[in-house]
């Protein structure tokens, strides 16, 4: 057992990789080794971590905690919904397909110590397992509240057709970037500072790989919204009524690197 557990950490993340992944997740692990364990899905020849290994224990824990955290988020968002509606929503959000898409969106395979062939051949189930193990690591390191935030930020993706979302600066920035044939805004989370009521999350928004805006906020969602507002203010001019529709939105200057 001890020999097999050592295998899980034979290719740990570098400090730079850990910081990059923490920034992408908007987290700062007290025990970075939990990330190593959570991302040890497969090694050469696609062999899965052994039964009873730290990886499988995190996966099992993550599966349980994810269900609870998702339930908490849904009860808060839909206070008058029926049990049937809530159950259907939860089933969809914690499904293998949804979790696999989360792994792809976060590009977690680059941190999993896999060859390109192994990464390309990962099944949908194996991708979902990684996300569950990651959630187990987040819970072990930071508790249920942080898992709830992860669910809100990474699993419940905003609906672009939602009128409430269409009022946000994030939606407006995405629309402006698309109209100007620029890349989709990408929000990179930095290290959180402070704790408790005084915690502040930092976010950098990039467009076409260049920094377009920076901001901080009491939650990651507020920080992203503030970063989008900053990008719109710093780099784009929006004129209404005075010019033709196709020129009403203009880049003020190129985003910085």
What does the DSSP assignment read for the chain?
A: -HHHHHHTTSSPPPHHHHHHHHHHHT---SSTHHHHHHT-SB-GGGPBPPTT-HHHHHHHHHHHHHHHHHHHHHHHH-TT--HHHHHHHHHHHTSHHHHHHHHHHHTGGGGS---HHHHHT--HHHHHHHHHHHHHHHHHHH-HHHHHHHIIIIISPPPTT-HHHHTSHHHHHHHHHHHTTPPPPEEEE---BS-GGG-BEEEEEEETTEEEEEEEESSHHHHHHHHHHHHHHHHEEE--SSS-GGGSEEESSPPB-
**Domain closes at, from 97, 129, 155:** 155
**Are 9 and 103 within one domain?**
yes
Which pLDDT tens digit goes with each residue over 112-126? 866 666 777 788 999
pLDDT over 80 (residue 246): no
Q: Of 46-55, 61-70, 116-125, 214-223, where does mean pLDDT reach its minimum?
A: 46-55
d(CA 168, CA 152): 16
Indicate which CATH number applies to the domain containing 128: 1.10.1520.10
pLDDT over 80 (residue 237): no
pLDDT greater at residue 165 or residue 212: 212
**Domain closes at, from 104, 125, 155:** 155
Query: Considering the domain boundaries, does residue 87 fall inside one?
Result: yes
**Are 148 and 177 within one domain?**
no
Mean local confidence (pLDDT), 208-214: 89
pTM: 0.67
Count of domains for the chain: 2
- What token pair was written down for 168? 């946000």
- What token pair was written down for 248? 């009403």
**Are 148 and 169 within one domain?**
no
Residue 75: its pLDDT value, please? 93
Q: For the chain, what percent of residues have pLDDT higher than 70?
A: 77
Contact 249, 180 (CB under 8 A): yes
**Domain closes at, from 124, 155, 186:** 155
- Residue listed under structure tokens 């005084």: 198
Positions marked catalytic: 63, 132
**Are 30 and 133 within one domain?**
yes
Total residues found in the chain within this entry: 257
Structural domain of residue 167, as residue ranges?
163-251
- For residue 152, which of 73, 61, 40, 62 has the smallest C-alpha distance? 73
Which pLDDT tens digit goes with each residue over 95-145? 999 999 898 888 888 888 666 667 777 889 999 999 999 999 999 999 999
């Amino acid at each position: 057992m001890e020999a097999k557990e050592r295998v899980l950490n034979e290719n740990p993340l570098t400090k730079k990789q850990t910081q990059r992944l923490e920034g992408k997740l908007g987290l700062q692990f007290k025990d970075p080794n939990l990330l190593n364990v959570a991302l040890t899905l497969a090694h050469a020849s696609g062999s899965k971590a052994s039964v009873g290994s730290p990886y499988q224990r995190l996966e099992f824990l993550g599966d349980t905690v994810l269900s609870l955290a998702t339930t908490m988020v849904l009860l808060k968002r839909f206070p008058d919904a029926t049990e049937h509606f809530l159950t259907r929503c939860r089933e969809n959000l914690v499904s293998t397909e949804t979790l696999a898409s989360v792994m792809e969106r976060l590009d977690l395979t680059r941190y999993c110590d896999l060859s390109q062939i192994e990464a390309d051949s990962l099944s949908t189930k194996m991708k979902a397992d990684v996300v569950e193990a990651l959630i187990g690591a987040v819970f072990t390191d930071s508790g249920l509240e942080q898992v709830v935030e992860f669910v809100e930020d990474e699993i419940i993706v905003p609906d672009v057709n939602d009128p409430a979302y269409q009022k946000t600066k994030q939606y407006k920035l995405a629309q402006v970037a698309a109209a100007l044939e620029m890349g989709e805004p990408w929000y990179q989370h930095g290290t959180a500072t402070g704790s408790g009521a005084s915690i502040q999350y930092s976010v950098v928004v990039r467009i076409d790989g260049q920094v377009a805006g920076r901001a901080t906020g009491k939650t990651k969602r507020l920080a992203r919204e503030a970063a989008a507002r900053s990008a719109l203010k710093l780099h784009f001019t929006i004129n209404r009524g005075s010019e033709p529709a196709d020129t009403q939105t203009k880049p003020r200057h190129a985003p910085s690197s």
